[in-house]
Amino acid sequence: MRSEGHSAGIEPSTGTLPKEMFGHASARVRLPHNVGQDELDDEEQRIAEVASKFVQASQMIGELSIRAISDAVERETYLARHCTEAQARVYEATVHNLQSTYDTYVKNTVLEANDRRLVALRGYTSIALHLLEAVTHLTHFHERHENDLRIESARRLLANVVDPAKVQASILNELLLGAQEVLEAGRPIATAVLADYTQIRELEVELPDGVHLHARPVALLVGVVAHHGTPVELEVGARRCNASSILEVLMAVGGSPEISVFIFRGDERPLRDIASLFAAGLGEGDRELPEGLAYLRTSPD
């Protein structure tokens, strides 16, 4: 710094600053006893969100009913139905989003240090992600370079180097099946974590006079559930649905238009905001959304 200053024509003082320049603290203030409490609550919510996403990812892969298939024709038929390149990218992106959420909000927190289940959950997520990344790459290779080559001679040359049947066997019997087994192994941990980091409550609300659950208020309702990231169930008469799905909510409400009382079950945090949303008339008419629901507001453009 001295050398740089000298080259710029600046000669820094070699003395020290007089003590008179430093005043005494006029007051000593203690930190509040609950310092960091808001951050702690937010971390618990994020942990619940991660656990919920893990369960959802496990369910998504589990619904494929993946099994090892030895017959090449049957295996190719299964993959064409359940694991095209576009589908493989969805599987990978779902687990990648789960891992990113963990690394952003949970990793290196006090709660992670005190709950080793979270580290285990991160491990299961990472293994599943790497397996699904390989699924995407090999599926891309098979679809783009083994099936869609326009020159038949080039396809035959490639088949001499890489057996297409072996590629598909690796995709299904090793990688995709392995990802399913890893997610299934971690699912009990995710379920237990979700139960420990959420306070399940039941909320009964009634539609305000003149308000109907059409697409716009339903979108706000779904936005609340999506914001918190934990599962919420909506009961409309004898029908129950996932409150994070705008389609399911619209179908449930549309199937019972005479019902004006709705029951929500889930973590107390999204339920608290749902109660505020109904109290504000679901944003219909001239009613403003409360500050606590500012995350639902969209910009004018």
Q: For residues 12-29, give the mean pLDDT.
A: 72
Q: Is the pLDDT of residue 38 over 50?
A: no
- For the domain that residue 278 is a member of, what is the CATH number? 3.30.1340.10
116 and 184 in a single domain? The answer is yes
Number of structural domains the chain divides into: 2
Decide if 236 is inside a domain: yes
Decide if 120 is inside a domain: yes
Decide if 291 is inside a domain: no
169 and 214 in a single domain? The answer is no
Decide if 63 is inside a domain: yes
**Structural domain range at position 53:** 41-196
83-122 confidence digits (pLDDT tens) = 999 999 999 999 999 999 999 888 888 889 899 999 999 9
Decide if 34 is inside a domain: no
Number of Cβ atoms within 10 Å of the Cβ of 173: 16
59 and 192 in a single domain? The answer is yes
- Integer CA distances (angstroms), 93 to 86, 135, 136, 163, 261, in order: 11, 12, 10, 28, 37
Decide if 300 is inside a domain: no
